[in-house]
Amino acid sequence: MVFSRRTLRRLAADAGLLFAAAAFVLPLAWVVLSSLDAQADLQVKVPGELTLDNFDAVLEPEITFTPLLNSLILCGGATALTVACAALAAYPLSRFRSRFNRPFLLTILFATSLPITAIMVPVYALFVQVDLIDTMHGTIFFFAASQLPFAIWLMKNFMDGVPKSLEEAAWTDGASAFQSLLRIVLPLMGPGVAVVTVFSFVMMWGNFFVPFMLLVSPDQMPASVSINDFFGNRGTVVYGQLAAFSVIYSTPVILLYVLISRRLGGGFALGGAIKG
Amino acid sequence: MTAEVAPGPAGASPRSPGSGRRGRRLIRILPLSPALVLLLLFLAGPIGYCAYIAFTDLQLTGQASSSFVGLDNFRKAFGDDDFRNAVWLTLVFTVVSSIIGQNTLGLALASLMQRASKPVRTLTGGIVVTAWVLPEVVAGFLLYAFFRKEGTLNAILDWLHLPGQNWLFTLPILAVSFANVWRGTAFSMLVYSAALNEIPKEITEAAEVDGASGWRRMWHITLPMIRRSIGTNLMLNTLQTLSVFGLIWVMTRGGPGNRSQTLPLFMYEQAFQKSMIGYGTAVALLLLVVGSLFSLVYMRLLRTEV
C-alpha cells in the first residue's frame, strides 16, 4: 500500500503524540489504578481485583470531609471576594476615561506576574503581628488579594467587549452605574465572569503554600495541606488510600475545567487572555 | 441572570452631566476601592514589610524586638555556601524544566498537533492538560511514586533491561525538574497552539510548494512569526518555575541533604526551621527582585496591549 506524503506525515505526527501521551499518562494511570487496588504500591499495575475499599477507608469526616469543607470555605469565600472586587474595579477602568487608568492597569499587570511564594515569609510575620495567623478570614483575604491582579486584568478585558450603547440606554432610563453593571454588563459577559470565577477557584483549590504558611491548627487545614498526613502521621503509607484521596480531591477542579473549556473552546480563553 | 436585559432605544444619549464634577469623579472611582484596599493591605503591605525586615535580624522565637542590621543579611547570603547552592539549583531547575523542558516540549506538541488526526490530538491534549489542572501537591505525589526506587520508572527500565536507580536520591534536581515539565508543559502547549493557529495557511503552503523542508520552515517561517508568543511564554514559565514550592516539598523536601533545595525551599528553611525570619526574608526579597525584573520584561513584550 502506498501512502501519500501528507498521510505519512500525519501518521508520524500521530505516533509522536501517542508516545508523548503514553509518557504523560503513566503517573495518572498510577493514581486511578491504585485507588481501586487494595494492594497498591508505587508501580502502575492493573489491580488483581477492583475494589472501592480505599474510598471507603478515606471517606471519613476527619480524613476527607473536614479538609474538603475547609477547602470549599477558603476557596469559595476567596473566589467570591475576588470576583466581586474585580467586577467592581473593572467597571470604572473599562467605562470611564481617566489619567489614573493606565498607571493602575500597568501596576496590576506587573503584580500578576510577581512570585507570590517569595512574599509568604513576610506575610507570615505580618499576620503574626496583626493576629490574623491561623484564621480562615485572614487566609481568605490574602488569597483574594493574591488572585485579584489577574482577575481584574481578565475582567477588564472581558468588560471591554460589552458595547457601551446598551448601558447608555439604561442611563437615560435613570439607572445608576451600579444598576447597569449588575443588570446589564455582568449578565452580558457571563462567560467572562465564569472564566474569572473558575480560574480563581482552581488556582486556590490547588494552592499548597498559602494555607501551609498561614494556617496552623489541623482542624482548619484544607485538603491541599492535609493530604500530607498520609505520610508520617498515620504510620506506614497506605498508597491506595492516598491515591483514593487524591482522586476525590482532584475531581472538582477537573470537572470545572472540562465545564469551562466545553463552553468556551479549548484552552479556555487563557491563550487569548495572556497572548503576546 | 440573563432575563433582565432589555435593550433600550438605539443611539440614546447619556444622561446630561451633573453639577459637581469633582464629586462625580470620586463616585466613579468608588467601585475601585474594595479591590484597592485589599491590594494595599494584603499585597503591597507585605511587599513593603518584606523590604523592611530583610534589613533586620528578626527571629521567630524568644526575641522581643528586632534591630536594624543594614546589609548584613545580604552579606551573609553571598558568603553562605548553602545559599549559593540554592541559587545554582534554582538556575538548573529553571533552565532544565522551564526554558528547555516545558517550552520546547510544548512547542513540539503544539506543532505535531497541527498535523495529527483529530482523535489523537484530543486524547493527547486531554492527558497533558489533566496533568496541568491537577492540584500541585497531587502532582507531587504522582511523580514521587513515579521516580521512587520501587516506582514505575524503574519498573519500565527493568522491563527494557536497562539499569534503574534511586532517582530521588541520585539525581533529585533532575527528578523534580522532570516533574515540573510533566506538570507545566500544557500551558506552553496551549499558548503555542493558539499562536500556530493564527499563522495563515497560505504562508506555510507557499513555503512547502517552494520545497522548503520541515526544519527550514520551522526555523525561517514559523518561529519568527510566533516570536512574541515565545517571549511571553518563556517569561511566564520562568516566573511560574521560580516560585515552585509544593511540588519539590512533596517529592524531596529539598533533599537529600540540600541537593534539590531551590531558593523558595531555602527561604522557608531559614525562616522557619532555623527561625531566622530576617535572613529568610532577605532571600525572599532577592527572589522578588529577580521576579520583578522578569515581570518588567514581560510587560515590555505586552506593551502594545494596555
| pLDDT-based confidence at residue A269 (cuts at 50, 70, 90) | very low
Question: Is residue B183 in some structural domain?
Answer: yes
Asked if A188 and B5 come within 8 Å (Cβ–Cβ), the reply is yes
d(CA B53, CA A212): 21
d(CA B35, CA A147): 11
Asked if B146 and A26 come within 8 Å (Cβ–Cβ), the reply is yes
d(CA B249, CA B252): 6
Cell numbers for B2: 440573563
Cell numbers for A187: 449578565
Average pLDDT for chain A = 84
Three-state secondary structure of chain A: CCCCHHHHHHHHHHHHHHHHHHHHHHHHHHHHHHHCCCCCCCCCCCCCCCCCHHHHHHCCHHHHHHHHHHHHHHHHHHHHHHHHHHHHHHHHHHHCCCCCHHHHHHHHHHHHCCCHHHHHHHHHHHHHHCCCCCCHHHHHHHHHHHHHHHHHHHHHHHHHCCCCHHHHHHHHCCCCHHHHHHHHHHHHCHHHHHHHHHHHHHHHHCCCHHHHHHCCCHHHCCHHHHHHHHCECCECCCHHHHHHHHHHHHHHHHHHHHHHHHHHCHHHHHHHHHCC
CA distance B4 to chain A (A): 6
Q: How many CA atoms lie within 13 A of A1 on its CB side?
A: 3
With contacts defined as CB-CB under 8 Å, which chain B residues touch A30? 142, 145-146, 152
Whether A138 and A211 have beta carbons less than 8 Å apart is answered as no
Question: Is residue B219 in some structural domain?
Answer: yes
Residue A38 corresponds to which amino acid? Answer: A
d(CA B298, CA A153): 15
CA distance A134 to chain B (A): 15
Identify the CA nearest to B174 among candidates B270, B100, B109: B100
Instruction: Give the helix/strand (H/E) hosting B98.
Output: none
Per-residue confidence (pLDDT) for residue B6, from 0 to 100: 38
Per the structure, the complete domain to which residue B100 belongs is given by 92-260
With contacts defined as CB-CB under 8 Å, which chain B residues touch A146? 42-43
Which candidate from B12, B292, B295 shows the least CB-CB separation from A168? B12
Whether A194 and B40 have beta carbons less than 8 Å apart is answered as no
Asked if A187 and B5 come within 8 Å (Cβ–Cβ), the reply is yes
Asked if B231 and A88 come within 8 Å (Cβ–Cβ), the reply is no
Helix axes of B172-197 and B136-147: crossing angle, nearest 10 degrees: 120
Q: Which residues of A219-229 are buried (b: 16+ CB within 10 A; e: fewer)?
A: ebbbbbbbbbb
Question: Is residue B116 in some structural domain?
Answer: yes
With contacts defined as CB-CB under 8 Å, which chain B residues touch A238? none
Residue ranges, CATH 1.10.3720.10, chain A: 55-274
d(CA A9, CA A179): 56
Q: What is the pLDDT along chain B (306 residues), one digit of tens a residue?
A: 333 333 333 333 444 444 567 777 777 778 888 999 999 999 998 888 888 888 888 776 655 567 777 788 888 888 888 888 999 999 999 999 998 999 999 999 998 998 888 899 989 998 999 999 899 999 999 999 899 888 888 888 888 888 878 888 888 999 999 999 999 999 999 889 888 888 888 887 787 777 777 778 888 888 888 888 888 888 888 888 988 999 999 898 887 888 889 999 999 988 888 888 888 888 888 888 888 888 888 777 766 544
- Residue B305, Cβ density class (10 Å: 0-12 exposed, 13-18 middle, ≥19 buried): exposed
Asked if A42 and B143 come within 8 Å (Cβ–Cβ), the reply is no
Three-state secondary structure of B234-288: HHHHHHHHHCCCHHHHHHHCCCCCCCCCCHHHHHHHHHHHCCCHHHHHHHHHHHH
CATH number of the domain that B247 lies in?
A: 1.10.3720.10
d(CA A238, CA A236): 6
With contacts defined as CB-CB under 8 Å, which chain A residues touch B255? none
Asked if A224 and B1 come within 8 Å (Cβ–Cβ), the reply is no
Q: How many CB contacts within 8 angstroms connect chain A with chain B?
A: 323
Asked if A118 and B291 come within 8 Å (Cβ–Cβ), the reply is yes
With contacts defined as CB-CB under 8 Å, which chain B residues touch A43? 150-152, 155
d(CA B25, CA A163): 22
Is residue A240 over pLDDT 80?
A: yes
Whether B242 and A93 have beta carbons less than 8 Å apart is answered as no
| pLDDT-based confidence at residue A268 (cuts at 50, 70, 90) | very low
d(CA B9, CA A227): 57
Asked if A254 and B130 come within 8 Å (Cβ–Cβ), the reply is yes
**Over residues A43-48, mean pLDDT:** 79
Which candidate from B43, B136, B233 shows the least CB-CB separation from A111? B43
ipTM computed for the complex = 0.86
Asked if B7 and A272 come within 8 Å (Cβ–Cβ), the reply is no
Whether A202 and B133 have beta carbons less than 8 Å apart is answered as yes
Cell numbers for B226: 510566533
Per-residue confidence (pLDDT) for residue B64, from 0 to 100: 55
d(CA B251, CA A255): 26
Asked if B31 and A81 come within 8 Å (Cβ–Cβ), the reply is no
CA distance A10 to chain B (A): 5
CA separation, residue A158 to residues A153, A203, A271, A272, B22 (Å): 9, 19, 14, 11, 29
With contacts defined as CB-CB under 8 Å, which chain B residues touch A41? 150
CA distance A191 to chain B (A): 12
Is residue A77 over pLDDT 90?
A: yes
SS3 B214: helix
With contacts defined as CB-CB under 8 Å, which chain B residues touch A44? 152, 155
Count the Cβ atoms, other than its own, within 10 Å of residue B9.
10
Cell numbers for B228: 512574541
Asked if B135 and A249 come within 8 Å (Cβ–Cβ), the reply is yes
Is B192 or A60 the better-scoring residue by pLDDT? B192
Question: Is residue B265 in some structural domain?
Answer: no
d(CA A275, CA A153): 13
Asked if A85 and B35 come within 8 Å (Cβ–Cβ), the reply is yes
Per-residue pLDDT of A188-238, as tens digits, reads 888 889 888 988 998 899 999 999 999 988 888 999 898 888 876 555 778
CA distance A271 to chain B (A): 5
CA distance B129 to chain A (A): 9
Which candidate from B231, B267, B292 shows the least CB-CB separation from A276? B231
Per-residue pLDDT of A246-259, as tens digits, reads 999 999 999 988 88
d(CA B107, CA B237): 13
The architecture of the domain spanning A55-274 is Orthogonal Bundle (1.10)
